[in-house]
């Protein structure tokens, strides 16, 4: 546990930072405003490959804009894998924006991020997923380009799975605990055609590619995740996305399914 705190401290020192570009499945390089708080309820409905069972993951999440360059997330992982909905763990995530090249209606930004996850459930697949499956840590960088109504973002990170809590070991071999995650996201503002006030509902369409390459086994997956997003009153958000496996050599139990997210942002929270 001490080790975790040291890792977190190091991550916070050297990285930090969060942003507010608006992808459904990944985080952009931009941050939330300083002194703002975002509340999220993430619902994942993932269909099991070998049965008709739907795995439901509920992830409540709190996001805090600590300063203009630093943002933190804390979340809890609940799922119905053991029949009843139960708490399986949580994670903290930090992002630090270290580069901003802004112009009117465009920007290029880069950020470093880190995540530390804890999970107490059994490990039943060799894909490493720190968002509700594995304990472990991740660190990486993300770059985002905004050009008027289109945003493009790409992230590269190093993932390391540790054993899960309650004696649930990572049983796929020690050298297979390490992986590289690569993501690529494109989003476009579809509506309104012309902005007139903050009450207009915004509609964004997004397409994201999510992939992982295991440094030990050489196994990989590539998923595509299209989503639609509605922003109400320039303050609240609903994301509806579908994640679909395109290609894999990993053992995965429930790779395909829906994300339904509710988000509300509080500006000038303190």
Partner 1 sequence: MKKIFLIASIVYSVAANSQVTKVNLQASGLTCSMCSNSINKALKSLDFVDKIDANIKTSTFEIKFKEGSKVDFDKLKKKVEDAGFFVAGFVASMHFNGVKVKSNETVAVGDKTLRFVNVKEQTLSGVKSIKIIDKGFVSAKEFKKNNVSPAADKSGKIYHVTI
Which residue's CB is nearer to partner 1, number 5 or number 195?
195
Q: What b/e readout covers 71-103, taking b as 16+ CB neighbours within 10 angstroms? A: bbbebebbbebeeeeeebbbbbbbbbbeebeee
Does 101 contact partner 1 by CB under 8 A?
Answer: yes
CA–CA separation, 240 vs 230, rounded Å? 9
Q: Which one among 100, 160, 217, 256 touches partner 1, defined by CB under 8 A?
A: 100
Does 107 contact partner 1 by CB under 8 A?
Answer: yes
CA–CA separation, 261 vs 224, rounded Å? 18
Minimum distance from residue 104 beta carbon to partner 1 (Å): 5
Does 31 contact partner 1 by CB under 8 A?
Answer: yes
Does 36 contact partner 1 by CB under 8 A?
Answer: yes
Q: Which one among 106, 166, 175, 244 touches partner 1, defined by CB under 8 A?
A: 106
Minimum distance from residue 22 beta carbon to partner 1 (Å): 7
CB 11 within 8 A of CB 17: no
CB 219 within 8 A of CB 230: no
Does 262 contact partner 1 by CB under 8 A?
Answer: no
Number of H helices, E strands in the chain: 1, 12
CB 242 within 8 A of CB 19: no
Residue 159 vs residues 40, 94, 139: alpha-carbon distances, Å: 24, 15, 7
Stretch binding partner 1 (CB under 8 A), from 45-53, 103-111, 175-183, 220-228:
103-111
Does 30 contact partner 1 by CB under 8 A?
Answer: yes
Which residue's CB is nearer to partner 1, number 22 or number 128?
22
Minimum distance from residue 71 beta carbon to partner 1 (Å): 9
Residue numbers at the binding site for partner 1 (CB under 8 A)? 19-20, 22, 30-36, 65, 67-68, 97, 100-107, 146, 148-149, 189, 194-198, 200, 202, 231, 234-235, 237, 265, 267-268
């Amino acid at each position: 546990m001490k080790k975790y705190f040291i890792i977190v401290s190091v991550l916070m020192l050297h990285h930090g930072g969060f942003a507010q570009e608006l992808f459904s499945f990944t985080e952009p390089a931009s941050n939330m405003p300083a002194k703002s708080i975002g509340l999220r309820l993430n619902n994942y409905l993932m269909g099991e490959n070998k049965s008709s069972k739907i795995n439901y993951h509920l992830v409540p999440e709190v996001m805090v804009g600590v300063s203009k360059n630093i943002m933190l997330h804390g979340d809890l992982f609940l799922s119905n894998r053991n029949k009843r909905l139960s708490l399986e763990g949580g994670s903290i995530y930090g992002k630090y924006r270290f580069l901003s090249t802004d112009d009117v209606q465009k920007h290029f930004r880069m950020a470093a991020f880190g995540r530390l996850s804890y999970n107490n459930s059994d490990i039943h697949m060799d894909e490493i997923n720190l968002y509700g499956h594995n304990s472990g840590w991740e660190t990486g960088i993300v770059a985002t380009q905004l050009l008027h109504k289109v945003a493009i973002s790409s992230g590269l990170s190093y993932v390391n799975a540790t054993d899960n809590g309650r004696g649930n070991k990572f049983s796929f071999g020690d050298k297979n605990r390490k992986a590289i995650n690569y993501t690529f996201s494109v989003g476009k503002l579809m509506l309104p055609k012309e902005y007139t006030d903050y009450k207009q509902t915004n509609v964004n369409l997004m397409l994201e590619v999510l992939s992982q390459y295991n440094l030990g086994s050489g196994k990989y997956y590539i998923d595509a995740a299209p989503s639609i997003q509605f922003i109400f009153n320039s303050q609240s958000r609903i994301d509806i996305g579908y994640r679909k496996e395109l290609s894999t050599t990993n053992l995965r139990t429930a790779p395909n399914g829906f994300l339904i997210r509710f988000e509300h942002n509080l500006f000038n929270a303190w």
